[in-house]
Amino acid sequence: MRRRKGLSFSSKRRNMNSHIMKELGSWSTHILCAVFFAVVVVYFFGMRISVIGVSMENTLFSGQQILVSRLSYLLTGPEEGDIVVFRHRGNKNTHSYVKRVVALPGDEVHIKDGKLYVNNNIVDYGYDKIMDPGIAETAIILENDEYFVMGDNCNNSEDSRSGNIGPVTKDMIEGRAWFQLGSASSFIGFIK
């Protein structure tokens, strides 16, 4: 009897095992890369929170979901008009606040006669007459790292006017609200 030329059964089996191990290694690498990419995206862009309360109406509504970009403020600070998400005094055990930045570090903030003044200029975000000036009843000059934030529905908002919250520092800010989601996760659009 003649032996057939070619690989023996054990050689074929070793080659098949080697091929399977290479495939498993390749799949494992792709899965790990996808998981790493997903974690990075979620950390920088994917923070999703629910708006609680009526303080941001008519821009955002209670129960509405928003996406928060943590990446926005790594190199720069918030800008006037940005809607930011922050934790009171940086406390990670409290709920997140969602408010609009109305004044930046170094600005003078004053609320008189129901109007918001920043650097002696009236600022209008469509506020009704501001009924409670809070700590801004007398002019406040913001420190180097402080931001003055208010709810768009200012007469139903606990914000920087409250002695309990006061000006918000950059390390308290978790990110910028940049996208609002609707019911059943249908996209509503970018937040202005």
Between CA 18 and CA 106 the distance in angstroms is: 66
Neighbours of 122 (CB within 10 A): 9
Buried b (16+ CB within 10 A) or exposed e, 150-165: bbbbbeebebbbeeeb
* Neighbouring-strand partners of residue 99: 84
185 is catalytic: no
Catalytic status, residue 99: yes
- The active-site residue out of 55, 72, 96, 157 is 55
End-to-end Cα distance, the chain: 84
User: Which one from 69, 99, 157, 160 is the annotated catalytic residue?
Assistant: 99
Active site residue ranges:
55, 99
